[in-house]
Each structure stands twice: as structure tokens, then as C-alpha cells.
Structure 1
Amino acid sequence: MAIRIFIDQGHNPSGHNAGAEGNGLREQDVTYNVGIYLASLLNDDVRFQARVSRPTPETVLGIDNATSLQERVNMANSWPADYFISIHCNSNTNPEINGTEVYVYRANTQSYWLAQHILNGIVERVGTRDNGVRINPSLFVLRRTTMPAALVELAYLSNWADAQKLREDQWEFAWGIYQGLLSYFGFQPLS
């Protein structure tokens, strides 16, 4: 049976729960595209079945921040997904800060090992700096999902070099996450 992966493209296209901006990019646009590419890679692989939280660029979830996050969790829990991956872009007031990090609810869990594989996949494929797997039990989508969950911060919109990757290498970010999933499950790439 196919492994069900729920892909949450962080943030809404406009209004409430819109994402960060930097270097001419909007987080919600990058996360939308990377999520669609990842879903396509997974759905082309018979071992997986993928769904996304935002099937169109205009999809708005919820009526405020809280309901937007709740709706994403509900979609994954009610499917039910086997794994939950939330895609985000980072930002910092210091433009020198760069790299990829992945957040999980707690250490030494399936989520944590999954996050490590995803992080390795992105860093290897895209060449971002490895900022490690980080524990953050306060993140709603990690706290309220009923399956192993990871929140991926692809790179920093606020860093010029990272922003170029986020603009030009969206397919590569998706491929890195896909490679991470294959590695986590011990799968070989389809020939």
C-alpha cells in the first residue's frame, strides 16, 4: 500500500497567515511551488500517495491564523496521512543568516529521523548550509498532527544567496525532500 504524505505549503497567498517576504520573493509563492513539485514527484512514484494543503495558488485556508493552521492539521489527520511535511521559507533581521533547518516536536522520534533525512537531501541537492534538525514543541502543526511531522525551513528569503536558490531552484528543493524521503524509507530511486 502506498505511503500517504501530506504536504502543507506554509501560509496563504494573501490576507491572514501570509508569509515572510524578502529579496523580491514571497514565502507563500515559493512554498506553493515547492509543494506542487514535491507532490508531483511523489505521485509519480507508486510507493507514495501525496496530497497538498493548497491545490491552487489562490487557495486560502481558514479565516484567521489559528483556523488556517487548524485546517491544515485537520486535512492531514482526517485523510489520514502517514507523514506530514510542512514547507516554509525562513527570514531573519540579520541578512547574513542563511541555510536550511527542519523542526520537529521532539528528539529521537520517527519525525526526528525523517527530518534528518530531508535536511540531508536538501543540503546535498541544493547546496544550502546545514543548520540541523531543531526541536520546537510550540509549533501548532507539529503539536496537533497525529502522524510523524516535520516543518522544513528551505532557506532564508532575507539572505541574498539563499533567495537566489529559492527563486531558481524550487524544483531542486522538492527533489531534495523527495530524495530525503527515499533515504528515510530505504528506497532506491525509480529507474
Structure 2
Amino acid sequence: MAIQVFIDQGHNPSGVNAGAEGFGYREQDITYMVGRYLADIMADDSRFEVMLSRPTPETSLGTSNATSLMERVNMANEWPADYFISIHVNSNPNPAVNGSEVYVYEFDDVASALAEQILLEIVRRTGTKNNGVRENPSLYVLRRTQMPAVLVELGYISNEDDVQKLVNDQYQFAYAIYVGLLNYLELPQIL
């Protein structure tokens, strides 16, 4: 039976729950494409079945920040997913802050180990700085999902070096998440 992976492309295209912006780019466009690439990569691997929170660039979930997050979690729980991967990009008022980090609800064996493998591959493939796996129990999508869940912050849209990678290396970010999941599951690469 295929491993069911729910890919949540953070934020809506516009309006409620829209994402961060920097250097003329929008978080929701980057997360949409990285998630789309990841779904396409995993669709070619019969060991996985994938569901996207935003199957099209225009897909908008919920009528508020709270209901947008709730819809994503409900979709994953009802499917039911075996793993939940939420894709985001970060922002900071200090333009020097850069790098990738992965958030988990709490440090545990499953989500933390998965987060670590994903982060190592992102850093290895894209050259972002490793900011570590971090615990954040306040994040709704980590708190309310009924399966191991990680929230991946690919890089900082507010940092000039990171934003170039976020725009130009979207496939590499997606492939890194895929390989990180394979490494965690101790599955061989077949693609």
C-alpha cells in the first residue's frame, strides 16, 4: 500500500492567509510551485500517493487565517495522510537573517527525525544555511494534524541570497524534501 503524503503549500494566492513578500516575490507563489514539483516527483514513485492543499495556483482555502489552516488540517486528517509536510518561506525585518529551518510540534522520534533528514537535504542541495530543527507547539498545522507533521521554512524571502534560491531552485527544494523523506523512511532512490 502506498505511503500517503499530504503536501501543504503554505498560504493562499491572495486575500486571507496570504504570505510574506520580498524583492517583488510572494511566498504563496514559491510554496505553490515547490509543492507542485514535489507532488510531480512523488507521482512518479509508486511507493507514494500525494494530496496537495492547493492543486491549482488559484486554489484558496478558508475565509480567514483560522479557517484556512483548519481546512488544510481537516483535508489531511480525513484522507488520512501518513505524513504532513507544510511548505513555507520565512521573512525577517533584518535582511541579513537567512537559512532554512524545519519546525515540529515537539521533539519526538518521528517528526524530528523526518525534519532533520529534510533539512539536511535542503542545505546539501541548495546551499542554504542550516538553522536547525525547531520546536513550535503553537503552529496550528503541527498541533492539529493526526500524523507526523513538519513545517519547512525553505529560506528567507527578505534575504537577497536566499530569495534567488527560492526563485531559481524550486525544483531542487522539492527534490530535497522528497529525498529527505526517502532517507527518513530508509527507502532507496529510484528516480
Tell me the TM-score range normalised by the shorter chain.
Answer: over 0.9
The alignment status of 1:149 with 2:178, answered yes or no, reads: no
Q: Deviation per CA, 1:40-92: give whole Å up to 9, x if none.
A: 11111011111100000000000110000000000000000000000000000
Once residues 62 and 156 of structure 2 are traced to their aligned partners in structure 1, the CA distance between those partners, rounded to angstroms, is 26
- Displacement after TM superposition at 1:121 (Å): 1.0
Q: TM-score of the superposition, structure 2-length normalised?
A: 0.99
CA distance in 2, matches of 1:16, 1:120: 32
Letter in 2 for 1:53: S
The residue type paired with residue 187 of structure 1 is: L
Match of 2:33 in 1: 33
5+ residue gaps, structure 1: none
- Quick one: distance in 1 between partners of 2:108 and 2:8? 23
- % of aligned pairs identical? 65
Tell me the CA shift for residue 24 of structure 1: 1.5
1:57 is matched with which residue? 57
> Match for 1:90: what amino acid?
N
SS of the aligned residue for 1:46 comes to coil
2:117 is aligned to: 117
Match of 2:23 in 1: 23
Aligned partner letter, 2:94: N
1:134 partner SS? strand
Residue 182 of structure 2: SS of its match in structure 1? helix
**What amino acid is the match of 1:2?**
A
Question: How far has the Cα of 1:148 moved from its partner?
Answer: 0.1
Gapped runs of 5+ residues in structure 2?
Answer: none
Once the two structures are TM-superposed, the CA of residue 109 in structure 1 deviates from its matched residue by: 2.8
Between 103-112 and 67-76, report the one with greater CA deviation: 103-112
Give the number of equivalent residue pairs. Answer: 191
Question: CA RMSD, aligned part only?
Answer: 0.6
- SS of the aligned residue for 1:75 comes to helix
Residue aligning to 2:74: 74
1:83 aligns with 2:83: yes
What one-letter code is carried by the residue in structure 1 that aligns with 2:164? Answer: Q
Runs of 4+ in 1 over 4 A off after TM superposition: none
